Amino acid sequence: MSNEITEQMAFDQELLSYCQMAEWGNGALQGSFGWLQVPLEIGNAEQHGELLETCFCLHNIRTHLVGVNQICNVYMPIWHSHAKEIEI
């Protein structure tokens, strides 16, 4: 029983970690493009996709040039240290 609890706690911690990563990414995008308020037509999914893709590309360029990325700084060392133990 103790083994099951330990495994469940480890799984929950990993899940929480992924949720935190998604929230950081979302917050970074909202922080970078909070001023962007373009009314989009409901029926034009292609336009929505192009706008989102442009925002993601601009955010990636900014992150690369500035060199600060919370996800990379926090999670990459963990992933590299565990790479031998598990497949990511």
Q: Give the tens place of pLDDT for each residue, 14-41.
A: 777 777 777 777 777 777 777 777 777 7
Classify residue 88: in a domain, yes or no. Answer: yes
Classify residue 87: in a domain, yes or no. Answer: yes
> What is the count of structural domains for the chain?
1
- Compute the distance between CA of residue 30 and CA of residue 49 in angstroms, rounded to an integer: 16
Classify residue 63: in a domain, yes or no. Answer: yes
The whole domain housing 65 covers 45-88
- Compute the distance between CA of residue 45 and CA of residue 50 in angstroms, rounded to an integer: 9
What is the residue whose two structure tokens read 């799984």? Answer: 11
Q: Give the tens place of pLDDT for each residue, 38-62.
A: 777 788 888 888 888 888 888 888 7
Classify residue 10: in a domain, yes or no. Answer: no
Classify residue 11: in a domain, yes or no. Answer: no
Classify residue 5: in a domain, yes or no. Answer: no
Composition of the chain by helix, strand, coil, percent to 5? 75, 0, 25
Classify residue 62: in a domain, yes or no. Answer: yes
**3-state SS, one letter per residue, for 20-42:** HHHHHHHHHHHHHHCCCCCCCCC
